[in-house]
Amino acid sequence: MPERRCVVTGEVASAERLVRLALGPDGTIAPDVLGKAPGRGGWIGVTRSELEAAQAKGKLKGGLARALHEGAITIPDDLGARIEAQLQRATLDRLGLESRSGTLISGNEKIEQAARRGQVRLLLHASDAGEDGRKKLAQAWRVGEDDEGSGREGMILPVDRATLSMALGRENAVHLAVIDARAADRLLAHLSRWQFFTGWSRDAADRVSSTNPRTAGNGTASTDSDKDSDASDAY
């Protein structure tokens, strides 16, 4: 994975863990969470609250101006909200794709059976899922992975069952399980950035590397004029 430098903090991380901001032809900055928009862009690796604080102090504009070598830029006041909306949409779209491809299952009984057979690679819950249901499925997952006593649990999504059900075209989608390792990696690449940016789980960005370790490079570029490195399989 290519690495990029956050224009706010100056820290370097895998592009998979950061959010790209694209510079439009009119000098306006827009979120590009899939990393595929043409032209120049800068990267951020902060939460929404941190981004908005940096924007209010002028630190975001200064960082982007230096990274893009462009002084005449316009940053929308609602940039944080736009990024969050795009991250949510990208994750829900990915869930829908995995559901249609058969790598995502739902329903307590179906998930519990798959978990006890060691077939579950990732366990997800709606934000309003009951604690008893979450614990029961997590226990089945640990049993199937021969990992009892580890405290392994599923990930709680920053959306409720109604939003999940609408995204998946299913009724009452409360608990979800991914039964394919590559599908789990694809989802985590989106989910970790979304959770991290919203502050729902401050350490969520680290879960991608712990689930699918990759060898990090030494790149430190803060811009991305070389478009062959803009996108990755994780998107």
Structure tokens at 21: 């901001």
Query: Average pLDDT over the chain, rounded to whole?
Result: 85
* SS3 category, 182: helix
Residue 212: what pLDDT? Answer: 40
Residue 25 has pLDDT above 50, yes or no: yes
Residue 52 has pLDDT above 80, yes or no: yes
- Torsion angle of alpha carbons 45, 50, 54, 59, nearest 10°? -30
Residue 125 has pLDDT above 90, yes or no: yes
Question: Rounded to whole angstroms, how far apart are CA atoms 229 and 158?
Answer: 29
- Torsion angle of alpha carbons 157, 120, 96, 91, nearest 10°? 40
Residue 232 has pLDDT above 50, yes or no: no
Q: What single-letter DSSP state applies at residue 105?
A: E
CA distances from 37 to 62, 94, 174, 223 (A): 22, 19, 34, 13
Lowest mean pLDDT among 126-140, 180-194, 219-233: 219-233
pTM score, two decimals? 0.80
For the chain, what is the radius of gyration of the CA atoms? 19
Residue 70: what pLDDT? Answer: 87
Edge-to-edge strands, sheet with 19-23: 29-32, 19-23, 41-44
Question: Rounded to whole angstroms, how far apart are CA atoms 149 and 98?
Answer: 30
Structure tokens at 175: 């608990």
Lowest mean pLDDT among 62-76, 87-101, 103-117, 144-158: 144-158
With cut-offs at 50, 70 and 90, classify the pLDDT of residue 224: low
Helix ranges (H only) for 70-160 are: 79-101, 108-116, 131-144
Residue 222: what pLDDT? Answer: 44
Residue 87 has pLDDT above 90, yes or no: yes
Residue 96: what pLDDT? Answer: 94
Question: Rounded to whole angstroms, how far apart are CA atoms 134 and 41?
Answer: 40
